[in-house]
Amino acid sequence: LTTVREIYKNIDKYIDSEITIGGWVRSNRDSKSFGFLVISDGSYFEQIQVVYHDTLPEFNKLAKINVGAALVVKGMLVATPNAKQPFEIQATHIDIEGESTPDYPLQKKRHSLEYLRTIPHLRPRTNTFQAVFRVRSLIAYAIHKFFQERDFVYVHTPIITGSDAEGAGEMFRVTTLDPKDVPLNKDGSVDFSKDFFGKETNLTVSGQLNGETFAMAFRDIYTFGPTFRAENSNTTRHAAEFWMIEPEFAFGDLGDNMDLAESMLKYIINYVLENAAPEMEFFNQFVDKGLLERLHHVAESDFGRITYTEAVEILEKNNDNFEYKVSWGCDLQTEHERYLTEQVFKKPIFVTDYPKAIKAFYMKENEDKKTVAAMDCLVPGIGEIMGGSQREDDYNKLLARIEELGMDKKDYDFYLDLRKYGSTRHSGFGLGFERCVMYLTGMSNIRDVLPFPRTVGNCEL
Ligand code: 4AD
Ligand code: MG
């Protein structure tokens, strides 16, 4: 078998020769003595038309074949200069490998994304999801390529962990204890010493703390894996299971961190524009008009950079139009983030130096003692796509912060050790992979860029 992608790549080699492809029927239109099948073989965004005549022994069966059936088609590839597609197959033999039935849910019409979410096992067969999931795969590859070309070491941080990296308490517990018979301590709390690991464990919310241990040995590292958050946020941008990319590097500060984040995002955009042209054209036409122009612009211009304090000054002037009013000290909501990046800057921006109280314990305190060396990268249409910081590298300050927040010091002894033995300035960030896919495709719901989304109230398949 060859593939439609292979044919598009080497048209000259295949034209006027015999080829065989395997694929699924997207539509079937028959006349008395011949018919047209449109076949998707999944290898390429474009489909291929197959002409079959009543000279084929299976003609009567083919004339009745349903959308969704799996076929192997052998025939001549001929040029069709006046048609929409540059070529078609004149079939000489067609094997029906798997029939379909008239109740096949994906008929040749536009289905709503809401409906397609109810059939996650079939939606990868539609144009939209063919484009989304191929681009998702390419973005993942581009990210690895970006970091590998820069000699960052890929670290596999654990999924099951004993520490809460973000200190936000939004964890899914991992346990083998029987819910009907949970062992309790004298004070009524759960006795986790009887559990599989002998202690309380969770699914990771971030690989950062483990990543930092490797950055203190390899200098430049990154993680890329699934992360889990039991956030009760039923929005179009939150999932309970999502993928995160977390670079971490020693001997670099917040400015270096922003430079890395900016060049990474530009690299991904350029890679996808170059390697997924038909898919990106499709998104631009049917999902988000203006997407291509915007991405080209982003790839060519500098991101904006402002401090949280400056952002608050801008936002306060627009407080009348916000549901949540802004004042110094408050966390920025999506409406504020989107206002800054969509109305004020009209491009991606970094907001830096947030109040210490609203950021994680590990961020480096600034000289003003009120803010930390944090950065959030905000993009139009989404809001926060990346979050990162320079890390607190002073042993005493970090210990004081851990105690101040009432965290259990012994869970963080390993992390404090990094500040005890050869501590150095170091920084990193987390890119939300799904938000990145949304940004590059123009898809507006995280449920439509995850193959099998897990969100509040939904864990199908
Ligand atoms: O800002 P967050 O919580 O940062 C961290 O986890 C740090 N440990 C990263 C680091 O410095 N190494 O998450 C990072 C990114 C966010 O900017 C967002 O894009 C994404 O992860 N994210 C989510 N994406 C989908 N669903 C959720 N529930 C998400 N929570 C965060
Ligand atoms: Mg964040």
Residue ranges lining ligand 1, Cβ < 6 Å: 165-166, 206, 208, 229, 231, 238-239, 242, 244, 246, 384-389, 428-430, 432, 434-435
Tell which one of 231, 435, 438, 454 to mutate to probe ligand 1, the residue whose CB is within 8 A of the most ligand atoms.
435
**Tokens 């239109």 belong to residue:** 29
Query: Quick one: pLDDT at residue 167?
Result: 76
CA-proximal residue: ligand 1, atom 24 (nearest): 432
pLDDT, tens digit, for every residue of 63-103?
999 999 999 999 999 999 888 889 999 999 999 999 999 99
Q: Is the pLDDT of residue 32 over 90?
A: no
Distance from the CA of 277 to the center of ligand 1, in angstroms? 29
Residue 324 CB: number of other CB atoms within 10 A?
A: 13
CA-proximal residue: ligand 1, atom 19 (nearest): 432
Query: Quick one: pLDDT at residue 168?
Result: 76
Question: How remote is the C-alpha of 303 from its chain's centroid?
Answer: 21
Please provide the average confidence, as pLDDT, over all residues in the chain. Answer: 96
The pTM score is 0.96
CA-proximal residue: ligand 1, atom 23 (nearest): 432
Q: Is the pLDDT of residue 460 over 90?
A: no
pLDDT, tens digit, for every residue of 121-158?
999 999 999 999 999 999 999 999 999 999 999 999 99
Q: Mean of the pLDDT values across residues 48-57?
A: 96
pLDDT, tens digit, for every residue of 183-240?
999 999 999 999 999 999 999 999 999 999 999 999 999 999 999 999 888 899 999 9
Q: Are 34 and 110 in contact (CB under 8 A)?
A: no
Angle between helices 433-441 and 254-275 (to 10 degrees): 50
Query: Quick one: pLDDT at residue 295?
Result: 97
Sheet with 173-174, edge to edge strand ranges: 160-161, 201-203, 173-174
Q: How far is CA 221 from CA 63, 217, 273, 382, in A?
A: 57, 9, 26, 27
Among candidates 203, 283, 278, which has minimal Cα distance to 5? 278
How far apart CA 162 and CA 453 sit, in angstroms, is: 25
Indicate the pairing of strand 153-154 with strand 18-30.
unpaired
Q: Are 400 and 214 in contact (CB under 8 A)?
A: no
Among candidates 121, 440, 33, which has minimal Cα distance to 264? 440
Residues 6+ apart with CB under 8 A from 194: 177, 183
Torsions phi, psi for 227 (to 5 deg): -135, 160
Ligand lying closest to the C-alpha of residue 244: 1
Among candidates 284, 193, 274, 210, which has minimal Cα distance to 246? 210
Question: How remote is the C-alpha of 12 from its chain's centroid?
Answer: 37
Q: Is the pLDDT of residue 169 over 80?
A: no
Q: Mean of the pLDDT values across residues 160-172?
A: 85
Query: Quick one: pLDDT at residue 236?
Result: 95
Tell which one of 212, 228, 244 to mutate to probe ligand 1, the residue whose CB is within 8 A of the most ligand atoms.
244
Q: What is the DSSP string of 111-171?
A: --HHHHHT-TTTGGGSHHHHHHHHHHHHHHHHHHHHHHHTTPEE----SEESS-TTSS---
pLDDT, tens digit, for every residue of 374-422?
999 999 999 999 999 999 999 999 999 999 999 999 989 999 999 999 9
Distance from the CA of 365 to the center of ligand 2, in angstroms? 17
Distance from the CA of 205 to the center of ligand 1, in angstroms? 8
Distance from the CA of 430 to the center of ligand 1, in angstroms? 6
pLDDT, tens digit, for every residue of 338-374?
999 999 999 999 999 999 999 999 999 999 999 999 9
Query: Quick one: pLDDT at residue 20?
Result: 98
Classify residue 56 by its DSSP letter: S
Q: Is the pLDDT of residue 30 over 90?
A: no
Among candidates 430, 448, 335, which has minimal Cα distance to 385? 430
Would you call 269 helix, strand, or coil by DSSP? helix
Distance from the CA of 460 to the center of ligand 1, in angstroms? 23
How far apart CA 202 and CA 306 sit, in angstroms, is: 36
Ligand lying closest to the C-alpha of residue 377: 1
Q: Is the pLDDT of residue 255 over 90?
A: yes
Label residue 110 by pLDDT band (50, 70, 90): confident
Q: Report angle CA 362, 367, 368 to the nearest 5 degrees.
A: 100
Share of the chain above pLDDT 90, in %: 93
Q: Is the pLDDT of residue 47 over 90?
A: yes
